[in-house]
Each structure stands twice: as C-alpha cells, then as structure tokens.
Structure 1
C-alpha cells in the first residue's frame, strides 16, 4: 500500500444557496464537484485546468483556508476537520500554502524578520538565539542574504518575494506544500530559478507538493502525476509523461493544442463561439459536451465517471481518445 499523505473523497464546495428573507431560494454555484485525489509521500501532483475550473478553491480547502460543503480531507489518516477543531497549529505543521501573488501575500507593514518569526514562535516554539539561527537558515535555504530580514516586502522583486513566501512555508517544517500558481506572476527567467529552488527543497527536506497551475509546460516539468480539472471535476488523471504524450480526455487534448510551445507553428484553439457551461445552470450530462467534437447522446444525459487510481491512466469520458488502459 503506497504511503498516502493526503486524500480527498467526494469533495464539494458550494457558494451561495440558502433562503432569502421572504423564503425565496438563493442561487448557488458549485465550485468543486465531488473531487477525489490522493497524493503519495514525496511526489508532486500537478493540478491543471482553465481559469474558473475550481483548482484554487480546491487548494484553499486542502490547507483549511476554506471549508468543504461536503466530503472529507485526510492528512496522513487524520481528518482535516478534526485537526481544525482540535488544534489549528497541528494542521499548519502538516501542510502549508504558497500564494500566487508573492508581494500581496506578505504584510507590507512588517519586516521580513517578523513575518518569518511568527511561524517559528507559534508552531515550533523557538525563541532567542535558536530563533535567530533558524531565520538565517531559512534565508540560506531560499538563497537570500540574512540582511534581507530587516527589509519590507516592497523592497523586493517578485522572485525574491516568492522565495520569502517559500521560506515562510518551510518555517513550519510541513510535509506537504500546496503551491497555487507559484510562478505565474514571475518573468520566465525567474520562473526557472524558482522551479529549480522548489525541486532542490523537495529533495533536501523530503517534501510532498501539490502544484496548481494553468501553464501546461510548467506542470509537465515538475509533476510526477497530473490531474486535469474542468468545471469543478477531475476529468483525467495519469502519470505526467503519459498524460502529455497520449491524453485520453478531449478537454485535455484541447488544452494541449491551445498551449504555446517553442517551435510550434500556430495554435489549434477551439472556435470563438464555443459554448461554455453556465455555472448557475449546469448541463445535465458531461459539462464538456457542448464544446466536445466527439460528444454523443449519452454524453448529454449522464455525467461520466472514472476510477482515478494512483497508477492508472483514467479519463471521465464515455468516448475517450485512444484505447483506455
């Protein structure tokens, strides 16, 4: 049995709903619709999809920044809700979050020393010389000079600020780090530096990553396995190389065809009048059916499902591309 450190079952997040003052029904939107994922210790699970597919909402639920409407999350066998109700510090010591916008994720009124000291004091009970030594170690881990501790966030570039965000996550000594679009706000050359840093830190500290991005080339470079999300659901999951070489879901194929790649001439995006699903009135069957060139009657009547195991290549599609393993 693989060493699973994080697992979700039928995870759902609904925004809105309820009743008005006059007992009318308020509209509701399903941001996440029954997501099942599992992550092994030491691997990187990439989660990719278009904007609005629910990947960032999923990320926030995994670290306790948002509560699921239904379903459950387990961290090394412990229920996330139990960790939140008993001791939030216990959750913070297991899983940490790196935000998309490095500058806005740091308090502009606090020195970097104060930002990094907080998790060391409250999660690791460090003080005095031990705290000071650990601060210098964290700066060294992310290749920043110790004197940067006495500067404010606005004095740093985006790449430097993201390194500080990574150092803040490392301060709790977690086993899992959720990275929500960690390089999308950075220049390409800086992206490569941060990705190399993340790879080094993963090997050095035995970390497990959940790497969320809309950039397929980045996900392909860093991920051991990849889950593709569409309209709040996982529609395909496979080992990274297998998914990019032979996608099974038409939506994954569309993403790959639409992604700019060096040396690739032209992009094969879909037509401008492609019909997107209405989140306030989702279609009865497969949400991708209105955009899918292979959709048939069964696709419009029933939602396809799949067995997303740790090692198999599966797609939630009635008419997958190629032969299913």
Structure 2
C-alpha cells in the first residue's frame, strides 16, 4: 500500500490540479514480474521502490509468492464482482529467453506467452493493444503508442474491475449540479444522491470527511472529501497509517450522500516517475536483467500506464483503473456533498490490495 501513496505523491507533484487515476496493483505487479529477471542493484532498486526491504534470496522468493497469492485471490470470481488481473510476455521471434525466467514468470505470475515480430512494429503494436483491449473489456484500446523495432520483450499487466454498489443510487434522483474544480471555476455535473446509513468519519486533524461505499462482494471504495483548501494537507498525510486510522474510526450514521457521476482517465510515463523515485538502474546501461537474457545487455526503454474510471448510480467500472459518488440536499441528516475535488481509493477487503487510487478534480 505504501507504494500506492508514494507513486500518487510523485504523480501529483507533476500536475497539482489535474485528475489522477492509476492502478497501484497493476504497476507494482508488472515491475515485480520484471524483477524475476533482474539481479544486483537493479533488483534491489525495483523492490525497494515497490516498498520491500531486507532483500535476502528467501525474502525475494516470498515476495513473488505473495504476489502469486494476491493475484490468485483477486481473480477468484465473486458473482457480484468482475475482477480480472493478469500478465503477459510478448517476446521477439527467435529471441532466446532464459528457461528459469520463463518458469518463474509462469509459476508466480501465470503469464500468457506470445512471440512477436518487432521488426514490424505496427503489427506488433496492434497485436499487444488488441490483447489489452480484450482483457479490459474495451476500456483501454490503445495502451502502446509506438514500439521500437529493437524491442526484445514487452511485459504487460492488465486489470479490469466492475462492481455494483451494495446500495445503488436511484437514477431518478440524479440532478445537474455545480462541481467546484477550484475557487473560481465550476463545471456542471450529474450529482447522484442517496439517503441511507453509511460508514463515515470526520477527521478533525486533517479536516476531511471520509465515507466508505461497499460494493457487493469484497471490494469497497473510500471517498475522501477535504474541506475547502485542505486537499494538499490531506494528500501529504496519505499513508497506510492514515487509512488504518480512518478505518478504525468509521462509524455508521445516516447521511444524505451526494456524489458525482465520474468518467476520467489517467496516462503515466512510469519510466519518468520511477526514475524520480530512485528506480534508475533498470532504465540505464547499468541495468542487470541477465536473468532474462543470460547477459547484461537489456534495459527498459519505456514503461507506461493507463487507467480509466467510470462511476455511476449502479456501481463502478475501472480498467488498468478508479471511482466517485454525489447527492442532493435534504435537511434532516448531515449532508456530505462531493462537489469539490476529492480522493478515491478502491481496494479489496480480503487482501487489502489497493486496486485503484485517484483524485477527482473534474469528474467530467
């Protein structure tokens, strides 16, 4: 989970007043898979960047083992939730990959394996993009923009999530409303509304309202609404400890909840962000990916991530992916109205894995 918040802070530092949406689960799994073939400093930088330390040989096997377990649990089909997460390797035709790398990639990450002719980059790109598009139910149709003909290997992770709210919003109560992007800009949005009992908590120290919206099944979304002008303060405090504190203090109360319908996406240059986070060797000529090729002749040339979030009355759909809710005013109970920038965390309760994380500055 720490990785999720560190990556979030890095992404936000680039563009403070923009929507942010990404899947920590997807990014960390892709790099953990890459780590199967990494050695020396390259390996330790990747794992330290993902939040793991004291890297003995046993510990490294345990990390891969825990990714394997989490992926297995997440992929277990719950009737109410669609959650598909998987990995693939696209390898240049005729390129000899180390057998142990392939075995471990299969054993721990259950990879799909394809061989591709990267000398025909357009065709190779089409093949990979089509695979991702199918796996994300059409939500991420063009993950890769360009491929270098010198590509040897593309490692890939996809995640697709679709879940229904435990308590859905009545579309007849959804109204047009203002959403205040900042102090002098507002946009018209569709605000959903429901009066019901919700688990929520007002954090006095951080000046924010926290509301948990469970999905049918084992997933839930946490919506965090900072008071006016307090977004930065809340963002700076984001950590596993803060989330634990919020969860401990959640209390059931009747609310008039107003949450906007959301449709946003995010696109990230992971290479750039990771280098700023101290994961540098794997992208340079110092890279040691000899576990893949048997020689120290490979490095990562590009790393990208795209994610998409759609939230409506019935639930949430996210790919590579994240979610938000909104409501109309009735005087009888406290109203929590998400009509200014807020944060969203979508996680799986059984594994505590953060599937998606984001900030909604403009739900449209």
What interval of TM-score do these two structures reach, taking the shorter chain for normalisation?
A: under 0.3
Relative contact order higher in (CA < 8 Å, ≥ 6 apart): 2
TM-score, normalising length: structure 1? 0.27
TM-score, normalising length: structure 2? 0.25
